[in-house]
Amino acid sequence: MRLEISKLRKVTGVLLDHIEDLGYKSVDVKDDYYWDIQAPEQYAVFSDPAKPTIGQLSDDWVEIEKILANERDPSAYALVWLSALLRYVGEQIVA
């Protein structure tokens, strides 16, 4: 499988437009902490992860806001922070 960045960009916009069309302009975060399994263990599904860590949505959001404010340079790893936030939104808005 090959993921095309242009298609990921397009579908992200389509999905966020859908959520806004449902009337959502924001999502309240009630659960700040989450379990996180780092790569490559995250993809080694035939063995138990040795040491899951804890992530924090508010920390992820702070880092994303720094990028938006030009206080931090964009990086590919920032997609990991963004993915945690997008997953939370998707789990809260089931439509």
Contact yes or no for 10/72 (Cβ under 8 A): no
Measure the CA–CA gap between 16 and 22, rounded to whole angstroms: 10
Q: What is the sign, positive or negative, of the torsion defined by CA atoms of 80, 54, 91, 22?
A: negative
Average pLDDT per run of 10 along the chain, which is 95 residues long? 98 97 96 92 87 94 98 98 97 85
Q: Where are the domains of the chain?
A: 28-92
Q: What is the value of pTM for the model shown?
A: 0.90
Closest CA to 57 of 81, 74, 23, 36: 81
pLDDT (tens digit per residue) in 37-59: 988 888 888 988 888 899 999 99
Q: What is the DSSP string of 31-82?
A: --EEEE--TTGGG-TTS--S--EEEEHHHHHHHHHHHHTTSS---TTHHHHH
